[in-house]
Amino acid sequence: MTFQLSDEQKATRDVIARFSDEQIAPRAEEMDESHAYPYELFSQLAELGFFGMRYPESVGGSGMDLSCFCLALEEVARGSMSLAGAVAMQSLMGTEFLHQLGNDDIKERLFKPALKGEKIGAICMTEPNAGSNLGAISTTATRVDGGYSIKGQKMWVTSAPVADFFTVFAKAGEENRLTIFLVEKDMPGLIVGRAIKKMGVWALPTSEVVFDDCFVPETHRLSAEEGDGEAHLHKLLAEIRIITGAMALGIARAALDAAIGYAAEREQFGKPINRFQAIQLKLAEMGTDLEAARQLVYHAASRKQNGEAHHKEAAMAKLFASEAAASICDKAARVAASYGFAMEYPFQRYLRDVRFTLIGGGTSELLKLNIARELCK
């Protein structure tokens, strides 16, 4: 299983890699410490066409394949996981359902401007008592004259404080099943609540969102019919897992590169520490895990874009890549020893930020159950 890059994929990767080296990485520490949303870099990536990469040209995108997008996202994550999380939300979860299900007005006012970085989207699924278990979602959408009234509370909403619109999963209809709605930020009853303090991705704001009798017009029910939300989400879930794996590759590469550079410069007992077997063993393990993760991620991406069965492969890719990245970031900090604990070096940021990939797209435990279920079919 070898992933060969096409000319388009190489060109895409190289453009974003250069941008990451020149613009993102030099500002990653500043972004992290300021806890401020990276508007400027977000807009610059929009100008490069990042948000429309995976959408067709007919709607303002560039019609590239999933592997192209993953290669680009990997390079962004190599520079900053906070920025990678922001652009992943904008490029996929925050806008996909508008593209799939939105009417012409929604696409013109919100979706197309979002591809240009002029509007910011977010998605509301997780609740205080509903994470992996979507069936436990308690947010409701009740029919009223002209639309719906949404009541409930969502947690862990990425980009919520800066979002212009939210894709919301709520239970509706006689069977009380998941249905997808679009809520715009100025709709009465929408409340962006407290910010959630996190150990990592400090420049990526995350908040709770409350719907207090939030009126949503009939035109903003994205679901074609009440209760089809889970089916639409299932179609997107594999792609979410694949791109999370790509982000894990990016931060793992950054950590490995930093460890290699440090080991070449740091001297002990009269020679660089990369001459010692203890360090060489760590670097070898890190490099091997990274290469294995890369093969899994791009194999899954290839199957998805070729229309082949890919849900098991996506779960495997996300599981292995995120766990490998967490291990690589830990080993990189160990190579740096005391300096791996110092805020002046990036190792501590990698250690904190990599945990973002362990959560997004499903926990490792949930993925293992899904993989086992697929294997036993």
**Model confidence over 122-140: pLDDT tens digits?**
999 999 999 888 889 999 9
pLDDT of residue 131: 84
351 phi, psi to nearest 5 deg: -60, -40
pLDDT digits (tens, 9 = 90+) for 303-314: 999 999 999 999
With 60 as the cut, is the pLDDT of residue 49 above it?
A: yes
pLDDT digits (tens, 9 = 90+) for 176-227: 999 999 999 999 999 999 999 999 999 999 999 999 999 999 999 999 999 9
Question: How long a stretch of residues is the chain?
Answer: 377
Residues 6+ apart with CB under 8 A from 141: 148, 149, 150, 170, 171, 172, 179, 181, 216, 221
Least confident segment among 96-100, 233-237, 262-266: 233-237
Q: CB of 238 within 8 A of CB of 169?
A: no
286 phi, psi to nearest 5 deg: -65, -45
Torsion angle in degrees (nearest 10) through CA of 44, 46, 49, 54: 140
Percent of the chain with pLDDT over 70: 99
* pLDDT confidence bin for 4, thresholds 50/70/90: confident
Amino acid at 240: I
- DSSP for 279-311 reads HHHHHHHHHHHHHHHHHHHHHHHHHHHTT---H
149 is written with which tokens?
């009234």
With 60 as the cut, is the pLDDT of residue 323 above it?
A: yes
Q: Alpha carbon 301 to chain centroid distance?
A: 15
239 is written with which tokens?
């792609």
| Helices 364-375 & 311-336 angle (0-180, nearest 10) | 140
Q: CB of 330 within 8 A of CB of 282?
A: no
Torsion angle in degrees (nearest 10) through CA of 322, 327, 332, 336: 140
Computed over every residue of the chain, the mean pLDDT equals 96
Q: How is residue 188 annotated by DSSP?
A: T
Specify the DSSP element, H or E, that contains 246: helix 229-265
> What pTM did the predictor assign?
0.96
CA–CA gap between residue 334 and residue 337 (Å, rounded): 5
pLDDT of residue 133: 85
- DSSP for 310-342 reads -HHHHHHHHHHHHHHHHHHHHHHHHHHGGGGG-
* pLDDT confidence bin for 2, thresholds 50/70/90: low
pLDDT of residue 26: 97
Mean pLDDT of 278-299: 98
Helix (H, G, I), strand (E, B) or coil at 57: helix
The number of C-alpha atoms within 13 Å of 374 and in the hemisphere containing its C-beta is 14
* pLDDT confidence bin for 37, thresholds 50/70/90: very high
131 phi, psi to nearest 5 deg: -115, -95
CA–CA gap between residue 194 and residue 373 (Å, rounded): 38
CA–CA gap between residue 106 and residue 323 (Å, rounded): 38
With 60 as the cut, is the pLDDT of residue 1 above it?
A: no
